[in-house]
């Protein structure tokens, strides 16, 4: 095991919680979406608009492969990482996979006023809700640990994840390679 990998729906706090874990546990922080944007020199929403979702998913798998080969990092992934089956073994290989679970209402509230999620549009909340529902079982299947974050702030969620992953590594002391 070498990294802590965060998965969960859009607006589940993967990036903010991930940064906090990294800071507290002296780990690096890596974001798969940021990696995609850096490699393609395009914003995620422009990739979707110009090249389509399928092309984005190809870039996403390539970026996941790249970050999974590193060690000692907290890796935040995009909410759709579980859409492609091929990503499941890559996630497992990358480290301990933590599912940040929250209600759809919490995600919707956190994403209010943001227009950078092509698959979460406030003029089509019904389809975003359907997407949320269709992914619940996939997040569960792909993860080792689930952390429910509805009533937790960033610090609380980060602390809990550090505690749970230490337990996961076995001895109460993290064996994450730095």
* Complex with ligand S3P: residue 10 or 96, whichever CB lies closer: 10
Count of CB atoms situated within 10 Å of the CB of 89: 11
Q: Which of 1, 22, 44, 157 binds ligand S3P (CB under 6 A)?
A: 44
The region of 16-24, 73-81, 144-152, 163-171 touching ligand S3P under the rule CB under 6 A is 73-81
Q: Give how many residues touch ligand S3P by CB under 6 A.
A: 10
* Complex with ligand S3P: residue 116 or 170, whichever CB lies closer: 116
Kindly state whether residue 18 participates in binding ligand S3P, applying the rule CB under 6 A: no
- Distance in Å, CB of 79 to ligand S3P, minimum: 3
Binding mask 113-132 for ligand S3P (x = CB under 6 A): ----xxx-------------
Kindly state whether residue 142 participates in binding ligand S3P, applying the rule CB under 6 A: no
SS3 string, the chain, reads: CCEEEEECCCCCCHHHHHHHHHHHHCCEEEEHHHHHHHHHCCCHHHHHHHHCHHHHHHHHHHHHHHHHCCCCEEEECCCCHHHCCCHHHHHHHHEEEEEEECCHHHHHHHCCCCCCCCCCCHHHHHHHHHHHHHHHHHHHHHCCEEEECCCCCHHHHHHHHHHHHHHHHCCCCCCCCC
Kindly state whether residue 10 participates in binding ligand S3P, applying the rule CB under 6 A: yes
What is the contact surface with ligand S3P in residues (CB under 6 A)? 10, 14, 33, 44, 78-80, 117-119
């Amino acid at each position: 095991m070498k990294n802590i990998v965060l998965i969960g729906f859009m607006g589940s706090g993967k990036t903010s919680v991930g940064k906090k874990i990294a800071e507290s546990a002296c780990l690096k922080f890596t974001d798969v979406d940021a990696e995609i944007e850096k490699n393609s020199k395009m914003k995620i929403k422009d990739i979707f608009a110009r090249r389509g979702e399928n092309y984005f998913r190809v870039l996403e798998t390539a970026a996941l492969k790249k970050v999974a080969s590193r060690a000692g990092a907290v890796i935040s992934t995009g909410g759709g990482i579980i859409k492609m089956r091929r990503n499941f073994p890559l996630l497992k290989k990358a480290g301990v996979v933590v599912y940040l679970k929250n209600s759809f209402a919490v995600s919707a509230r956190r994403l209010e006023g943001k227009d950078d999620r092509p698959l979460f549009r406030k003029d089509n909340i019904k389809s975003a809700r359907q997407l949320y529902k269709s992914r619940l079982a996939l997040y569960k299947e792909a993860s080792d640990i689930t952390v429910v974050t509805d009533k937790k702030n960033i610090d609380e969620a980060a602390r809990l994840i550090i505690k749970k992953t230490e337990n996961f590594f076995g001895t109460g002391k993290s064996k994450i390679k730095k």
